């Protein structure tokens, strides 16, 4: 019964996150005609109502579904889990089509908040102002920094954002450059060799940092895959970027886990032997040993997923196919490099 209750709670939370994030991919596919419809305007009105006074939006909520109706003082914006980035992109699109100045002003407020939140060292905290907790660290967790970098790159270069003043577009281009430089400085070096990244890094000295009690200092299989894929989209990458990519890809190959498969028995995750299983990668690896590890809310490192409590075992992505995504992107990147063609990813 306890496992069933936990599973239900997790399903409810995951559903809310998926609803909040899937909405943006749905709206990206809408045509121009939809954006001038009453439905689109209502979605935009809802988004405006959820924007905090600082310019950001909350996470794990579908801010397009209905208007915010509570005390505005309770609105807490963040960049975590795709928050703020999705809203900013939507507002840019609907303003371009409708020319409604309120959408323009809200967009600029969101963009200015994002630019102001970037550290001098090039990274972003999970939320701004960052406070004194772990959220102040440079946050790669759940692809937070990657989402922000993709956004400022698009704002600085894509025609879709040509309505923005030159000063902000130039600031966005510089923001992207600083962010990539930050990524290179954060790449963890072990015994003189570049590896990959932790999910969080110190905002001053770039060193790996922990977050929640079960998110210890580590090399992250999940977040590092997304970082490498971003680096592979850069046009005319310099030697530093090339070295970062090559080193990261080698690390993923060395960290590959074979002969095991993850299954669920009565809603509970288990790892079994299977010589025919596709490779897996762990979410967290020890920096010194590259040994996969797991941790519950007690913050104690374990080397077997069955040794942590069911709530954390089933409520977190401890294994994934992240290395396959890296390998696929790397082969395409190498093919472009060998043919002398620029990346067509903007």
Can you tell me the distance from the alpha carbon of 302 to that of 318, in angstroms, rounded to the nearest whole number?
12
Mean pLDDT of the region 293-310: 98
Band (pLDDT 50/70/90 cuts) for residue 87 is: very high
In the set 81, 178, 226, 314, the catalytic residue is 81
pLDDT digits (tens, 9 = 90+) for 33-80: 999 999 999 999 999 999 999 999 999 999 999 999 999 999 999 999
- Which H/E stretch holds residue 320? strand 319-320
Higher-scoring residue by pLDDT: 22, 288: 288
C-alpha distances in Å from residue 9, one per residue of 1, 13, 20, 299: 12, 6, 17, 22
R_g of the chain computed on alpha carbons: 21
The 3-state secondary structure of 196-240 reads: CCCCEECCCCCCECCCCCCCCCCEEHHHHHHHHHHHCCCCCCCHH
**What is residue 159's DSSP assignment?**
G
pLDDT digits (tens, 9 = 90+) for 147-195: 999 999 999 999 999 999 999 999 999 999 999 999 999 999 999 999 9
pLDDT digits (tens, 9 = 90+) for 270-293: 999 999 999 999 999 999 999 999
In the set 177, 194, 212, 261, the catalytic residue is 212
User: In the beta sheet, which residues pair with residue 264?
Assistant: 269
Structure tokens at 332: 């395409």
Q: What is the pLDDT of residue 18?
A: 46
Answer whether residue 108 shows pLDDT above 90: yes
- Residue 141 designated active-site: no
For the whole prediction, is pTM greater than 0.85? yes
Answer whether residue 6 shows pLDDT above 50: no
* Cis bond before residue 129 (omega within 30° of 0): yes
Answer whether residue 15 shows pLDDT above 70: no
- How distant is the alpha carbon of residue 155 from its chain centre? 18
- Mutual angle of helices 101-117 and 166-186, in 10-degree steps: 30
Can you tell me the distance from the alpha carbon of 37 to that of 203, in angstroms, rounded to the nearest whole number?
44
- Residue 60 designated active-site: no
């Amino acid at each position: 019964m306890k496992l069933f209750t936990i599973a239900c709670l997790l399903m409810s939370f995951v559903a809310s996150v998926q609803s909040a994030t899937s909405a943006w991919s749905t709206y990206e596919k809408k045509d121009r005609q939809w954006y001038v419809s009453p439905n689109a305007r209502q979605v935009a009105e809802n988004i405006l109502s959820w924007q905090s006074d600082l310019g950001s939006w909350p996470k794990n909520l579908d801010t397009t579904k209905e208007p915010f109706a509570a005390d505005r003082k309770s609105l807490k914006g963040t960049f975590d889990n795709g928050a703020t980035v999705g809203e900013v992109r939507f507002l840019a699109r609907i303003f371009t089509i409708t020319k409604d100045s309120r959408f323009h002003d809200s967009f600029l407020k969101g963009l200015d908040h994002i630019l102001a939140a970037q550290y001098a060292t090039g990274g972003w905290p999970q939320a701004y102002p960052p406070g004194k907790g772990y959220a102040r660290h440079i946050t790669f967790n759940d692809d937070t920094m990657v989402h922000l970098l993709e956004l400022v790159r698009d704002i600085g270069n894509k025609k879709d954002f040509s309505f923005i003043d030159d000063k902000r577009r130039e600031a966005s281009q510089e923001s992207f450059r600083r962010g990539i430089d930050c990524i290179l400085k954060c790449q963890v070096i072990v015994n003189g060799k570049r590896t990959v990244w932790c999910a969080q890094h110190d905002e001053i000295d770039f060193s790996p940092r922990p977050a929640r009690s079960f998110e210890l200092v580590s090399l992250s299989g999940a977040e590092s895959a997304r970082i490498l894929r971003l680096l592979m989209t850069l046009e005319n990458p310099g030697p530093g970027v090339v070295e970062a990519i090559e080193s990261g890809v080698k690390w993923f190959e060395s960290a590959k886990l074979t002969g095991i498969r993850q299954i669920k028995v009565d809603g509970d995750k288990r790892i079994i032997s299977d010589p025919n299983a596709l490779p897996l990668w762990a979410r967290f690896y020890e920096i010194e040993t590259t040994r996969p590890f797991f941790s519950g809310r007690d913050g104690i490192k374990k080397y077997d997923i069955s040794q942590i409590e069911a709530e954390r075992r089933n409520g977190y992505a401890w294994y994934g196919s992240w290395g396959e995504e890296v390998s696929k992107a790397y082969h395409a990147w190498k093919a472009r490099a060998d043919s002398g063609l620029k990346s067509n990813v903007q």
